[in-house]
Amino acid sequence: MSAPIRLTGDELDRFAERVALAEPLLATAIAEGPVDAASVPVPAVLGDLVVYRVTVAARRRPIELLVADVGDELVPLGDVSSVDLLASRLGLRLETQADVTEFLRFWCRATGRPGDHLVESAADFRWIPGVTTDPELRTHADRAAHLARRITVGHAAGGAFPAEITMLHQRTLVLRQLRVAHDGHVDEFSRVVLIDDVPVPYTML
Q: How far apart are the first and last CA of the chain?
A: 31
Are the C-beta atoms of residues 51 and 66 closer than 8 Å to each other?
Answer: yes
- Residue-wise pLDDT tens digits, 77-93: 999 999 999 999 999 99
> How much is the average pLDDT of 66-73?
93
- CA dist 122 and 56 (Å) reads 31
Closest residue by Cα to residue 4 from 46, 73, 66, 52:
52
Residue 23 is which amino acid? E
Band of pLDDT at residue 202, cut at 50, 70 and 90: confident
Average pLDDT score over the chain: 93
pLDDT at res. 199: 95
Are the C-beta atoms of residues 126 and 189 closer than 8 Å to each other?
Answer: no
- Selected residue with higher pLDDT from 62 and 96: 96
Return the biggest CA–CA distance within the chain: 54
- Sign of the dihedral defined by the CA atoms of residues 79, 21, 86, 58, in that order: negative
- Residue-wise pLDDT tens digits, 97-133: 999 999 999 999 999 887 899 999 999 999 999 999 9
- CA dist 44 and 186 (Å) reads 18
Residue 196 is which amino acid? D
- Residue-wise pLDDT tens digits, 123-177: 999 999 999 999 999 999 999 999 999 999 999 999 999 999 999 999 999 999 9
pTM for the model stands at 0.92
Closest residue by Cα to residue 46 from 108, 79, 93:
93
Are the C-beta atoms of residues 184 and 94 closer than 8 Å to each other?
Answer: yes
